[in-house]
A = this chain, B = another copy of it.
Amino acid sequence: MTDAAVRPTKPATSKRTPAGGAPTAPHTADEAHEARIDIAAVTDLLLGTWADTRREAREMVKDPALWRVDGLPMAEHRERVLEQLRIVVSHGGSRRAYPKEYGGLDANGANVSAFLELVLADPSLQIKAGVQWGLFGSAIHHLGTKPHHDKWLRDVMNLDLPGAFAMTETGHGSDVAAIGTTATYDVDAEEFVIHTPFRGAWKDYLGNAALHGRAATVFAQLISGGVNYGVHCFFVPLRDENGSFVPGIGGEDDGVKGGLNGIDNGRLHFDQVRIPRENLLNRYGDIAPDGTYSSPIDSPGRRFFTMLGALVQGRVCLDGAATTATAAALTIAVTYGNQRRQFDSGSGTDEVVLMDYARHQRRLLPRLAATYAQAFAGDELIKKFDGVFSGREDTPDEREDLETLAAALKSLSTWNALDTIQEAREACGGAGFLAENRLVGLRADLDVYVTFEGDNNVLLQLVGKRLLSDYAQQFKDADAAALARFAVGQTAGKVFHGAGLRRLGQTVTDFGSTARSVELGLRADQQHDLLSGRVQQMVADVAGRLRPAAKMPAADAAALFNENQSELIEAARAHGELLQWEALTDGVNRAADDGTRQVLTWLRDLFGLSLIEKHLAWHLIHGRLSTQRGAAVSRYIDRLCARLRPHSQDLVDAFGFAPEHLRAPIASGAERERQHEAREYYAALAASGDAPVSEKALKKQKK
């Protein structure tokens, strides 16, 4: 406890100081003489439903062979990551998602939970594993049928068959329905002809495509007998035993990227490549030898979205991985902020610990609160995913809820990752810019998370459209209680648990004693009212403005929608934030002891108030807050930051990372040692009587 030992021992000379977040305020929960969290218990809460699996994965990634090596040339990095995948296989890490009959474990939630921890080793490893087992393998598993499973799943699992997931094209990313690649059925040969008709239809940005992929699951327009049955997925061999492309296939390397350079992203194109009819992954659509098309889903639109929905796992993983990476970055920055000193406060005592600066608290603590919220919301997402994919709760409604939830949470958490890791890097100054301290590498690698597996803006627009259609549905019967029902539909009770049973009021009364909340207003129930009221109002407003579209020519309707696009996306964001807030609140209430619940309630309040501050103008304009209360929001946040400051180390320690996960010299205690050494040097110098006197002091004496 170096900090405690060197703090000025004279008592505070004013009552203001201890409460004010001042440079001499308590540094640790111990010093604050108040309730503190039970760190181990909070770690359990944060690790969530599959805590054991996550611990197992964290144990595995302590192996230095799995770690990112900064500055490794791209070619070596790619080979290293391929090797790392083999290590994951040797730990059984590729089995969890697959059926037991092929040596798998049929454990979807556990699979995602383990997979997201790989980000701590090297995000390239996480994403390359995701390409192999979450996309390529998943397509065979979820879009294919037993013959495909029999033929390929074991090889996929043990990495004897590395593959690419060839969906995106140079010309079409988020708009998968419009891809140009064709798969035309040749009834005489009983083969599909895979073809790239123009440059924009080259498959692009595909992991495993530049080097390691032996095959690919290729999405193409299925054409038979002159009819286009829409996008389907086909198994297409790419390379022979020597790693050369088979005839008809060509490609390019995507080269260096902004991050994830351990993955061999590349482009593929097909020149009349023939594959057997049986290589159509035919779970949702099949072609008989005579070219007749059949599908268990009659509507082409619903069939398309069902196929895409089978791949929602990617978004679930990205959400969790973003939260894990963000938590690691905050642990590094807060730990450093609790050791590093800079600038004499002017009080003549000593240099100030960074975390004592009000600005530093403001920069890091609200982001810490958001990361807690993400962790709890992410666990709800994985539970929902597991429910659907285990078949326990696999209904069309549940699938739709899952997809909406994944889209909302993935967007918020991946954007927050970039924002928070960057703030952490800046909070560590020049040291934060060194690769050895991890922050720049994490940020660079996670950059693309905000646009892949669905561009965040596009995903939020999908969420917004879902909110609009829910809203419209409620009003179909023009019932007086319709708006209230809509409101309930947007809360965690409905979205996480599919129940829709918890009424708004009920939910709120459970949110812990008000005494633990902010004392001067804007308590839990008020936070909830403001956040949920905003979602409802925004959706209602957009819906109202779009109403005339139904009677407009298509072009005008599109223009009207476009005018409301930004606000619809903001409504979707507000919806996601509400869900995070509710998940955090539920999580806080699961804490067993009073101290933990008290501190976490402050953290929840900080999250809620930060959201309200972010959208304060909206709340003022819509009369939800008076200007007087609006003005108080920022002051409450300052007070909560000061109150949480002594708990900052406990709160990041509760993420449960070991030194092998953080690997940042500035968060290793080295800074504390350096500070200690410097202070001892000056103390010894002063004691020796040899310390030079300052010119300033000399001038004062002379006067």
Contacts and interface: CB of A to CB of B under 8 A. Distances in A.
Interface string A14-57: 10110011111100000000000000000000000000000000
Contacts of A146: none
A39 B361 CA distance: 46
Contacts of A8: 555
B17 A556 contact: yes
A226 B695 CA distance: 10
Contact of A16 (B461, B556, B623): B556
A23 B559 contact: yes
Contacts of A693: 226-228
Contacts of A429: 173-174, 451, 455
Interface string A213-246: 0000000010100111110000000000000000
B257 A559 contact: no
A627 B638 contact: no
A342 B566 contact: no
A79 B452 CA distance: 35
Query: How many copies of this chain are found per oligomer?
Result: 2
B695 A565 contact: no
A138 interface: no
A22 B563 CA distance: 7
A457 B440 CA distance: 19
A201 B229 CA distance: 70
Q: Which of A21, A363, A621 has the most CB of B within 10 A?
A: A621
A358 B617 contact: no
A13 B555 CA distance: 8
Nearest to A172: B342
A553 interface: yes
Nearest to A428: B451
B257 A434 contact: yes
A539 interface: no
A552 interface: yes
Interface stretch (A343-351, A397-405, A500-508): A343-351
A351 B174 CA distance: 13
Contacts of A300: 694-696, 699
A74 interface: yes
A586 B23 CA distance: 43
A558 B174 contact: no
Nearest to A440: B258
Interface string A671-701: 0011101100100000000001111101100
A450 interface: yes
A418 interface: yes
Nearest to A629: B621
A544 interface: no
A271 interface: no
A590 interface: no
Given A14-B552, A563-B638, A695-B300, A558 B201 contact: no
A220 to B, nearest CB: 12
Contact of A174 (B223, B342, B439): B342
A257 B440 contact: yes
B555 A170 contact: no
A319 interface: no
Interface stretch (A81-89, A192-200, A326-334, A519-527): A192-200
A487 B204 CA distance: 56
A476 to B, nearest CB: 22
Interface in A522-557: 552-557
Contact of A21 (B178, B557, B563): B563
Interface residues of A, number: 129
A613 B561 CA distance: 22
A173 B429 CA distance: 8
Nearest to A693: B227
Contacts of A173: 342, 429-430
Given A199-B674, A444-B258, A175 B342 contact: yes
A644 to B, nearest CB: 15
Given A440-B258, A563-B20, A692-B223, A205 B620 contact: no
A681 B630 contact: no
A190 interface: no
Nearest to A363: B457
A24 to B, nearest CB: 6
A563 B457 CA distance: 37
B674 A200 contact: yes
Interface string A411-440: 000000010001001100111111110011
Contacts of A452: 430
A356 interface: yes
Given A199-B677, A228-B694, A678-B198, A553 B358 contact: no
A674 B205 CA distance: 17
Given A433-B257, A556-B16, A566 B174 contact: no
Given A345-B558, A557-B347, A692-B226, A448 B430 contact: yes
A98 B570 CA distance: 53
Contact of A436 (B226, B255, B678): B255
Given A258-B433, A358-B562, A558-B22, A198 B692 contact: no
Contacts of A569: 359
Q: Which of A173, A204, A426, A456 has the most CB of B within 10 A?
A: A426
A695 B230 contact: yes
Contacts of A228: 692-695
Given A255-B434, A434-B255, A560 B16 contact: yes
Nearest to A555: B347
Contact of A13 (B71, B261, B553, B564): B553
5 contacts: A20-B563, A178-B351, A205-B434, A357-B565, A563-B638
Given A12-B555, A347-B553, 18 more contacts: A8-B555, A14-B553, A14-B559, A17-B556, A20-B560, A23-B558, A70-B255, A175-B344, A175-B351, A180-B681, A198-B674, A198-B681, A227-B695, A300-B696, A345-B555, A358-B562, A418-B422, A620-B630
- Top 6 nearest A-B pairs (CB, nearest first) are A22-B559, A258-B440, A616-B617, A71-B256, A347-B555, A256-B435
